[in-house]
Structure 1
Amino acid sequence: MLKQHKDFIQIVKKQIKDDERFMGILAGGSMINNTMDQFSDLDLILVYDAIFQDDIMMNRLQIASRFGRLLSGFTGEHVGEPRLLICLYNAPILHVDLKFVTIEEVKDGVEKPLVVWQRNSSLSQLLSEIKYSFPFPDIQWVEDRFWVWIHYGATKLGRGEFFEVVDFLSFLRGTVIGPLVLMKNNSLPRGVRRIEEDAPDFIEELEKTVAIHEKESCYNAIKSTISLYLNLRRDYEIEIQIKSEAQQESIKYLEEVYREI
């Protein structure tokens, strides 16, 4: 952890200690596995007494402004987490995610957080009793959808919506390919996060799934995505129902579309 991170945490601790509404501070993200660098943001969980819920949720920006020079802050509905306040501070510039939760909501996470500060031992006791489990993709869920998604990509290719194809391929990397590659390399399936570091043996294949705004590039990237998925799927084929006809027909359609444009 760098000085800018440590200094910010110290300010938060000082402010929260003096606020009786709060019961503790937890840390998530890269602090959990000690992988922070100068580009890391801070993921802090501010645990409060539920009787103050309305007051705290209405005044989160005001609370966040006590921690430093707040340039901007907004809530996290776009990532499905309205309790989250995403903040950008200055002097030094720093991205900080502040999640405001009651002690009853602490159990909702997917990884065991670190205790940064607590008013008493209740947080540590609670964390020792919870079994956190990081969500891994359901391979059948993926297989059921993958070929429908490939057909969708082919329709956009046929229409000449190349920007849509580029977006679509990015979605497939983050939702399907990246997680499966990371799992194969014994890493947590966090989309494509740190994939260059955690799966260097797949970089060349992953590069082929990246398209530019051009017909040939988009077609080849879709084909490379299919090829990589089939390679990764082999590890699970005895466990799932393969959608063979959907696979055959969606690939056939892609080829037909490509020949016609």
Structure 2
Amino acid sequence: MTDLTAETRQTDRLDPARANALLAALGRPERLAEGDALPPFFHQIHFWEAQPPEALGRDGHPRTGGLIPDLGLPRRMWAGGALRFLAPLRVGQEAEKRTIRETVAQKTGRTGPLAFVTLRHEIRQDGALCVEERQDLVYREDPTPDAPRPGPPEARRDETEARVACFDSTLLFRYSALTFNGHRIHYDADYAREVEGYADLVVHGPLLAQLLILMAEEQAPLKDFRFRATAPVTLGEEVTLCRDTESAWVRGADGRQCMAAKLGF
């Protein structure tokens, strides 16, 4: 990546072996060859930001400072985002990703100081814009035992289609590896519980979004997908992937809403 403060660029060949590995990890029978269309949101397994150990923060992510400024808040969460699929990305061909830091905002919430960082990603092939993505990140303090914990919203129960999903440690490991995501909440149970305050290993928000996207694609090709994470899903938890004609969501076994998304066809 370049060393600019507010913008970076990467190029990567969209390796079919990597895409087929994700399909296999998700239990899907399809296999891709060079020239095929990359499934939507599979660009997440490309454009790795590979940093040496000394450039990582305590959580396993690249240390903040530069594109994402150091805001003095150690916990990072991918809170949601929005995607526009303008043209298919082609497997086996080189693509360019441009990332722009759009906004940085700080505020105080019920749980203490918060910082919000919005990144915009533009992915092109042969000079044509294929995918636009907004990524919303939240940074916060470490939890304290007496800190208020706002309850998650209740999930809808009026879906037209529903599928049960459960996440084991093998899937979490394979998805972390394929996305080169070093965040320790996904593979280091002691860190997830004792430092970041989760009940167990945490299922990746983008993995939940990916499953909703693939489910929606069975209805029609997606043009837009906007999602928001509202409650964590943890190792071994059974959830229900839901959709209707215009929206999709993830419902926990206790009825809580874990993710909500809007679909555009």
TM-score interval (norm. to shorter):
under 0.3
Higher strand share: 2
Q: Which protein has the larger Cα radius of gyration, Structure 1 or Structure 2? A: 1
Q: TM-score, normalised by structure 1?
A: 0.23
Q: TM-score, normalised by structure 2?
A: 0.23
Higher helix share: 1
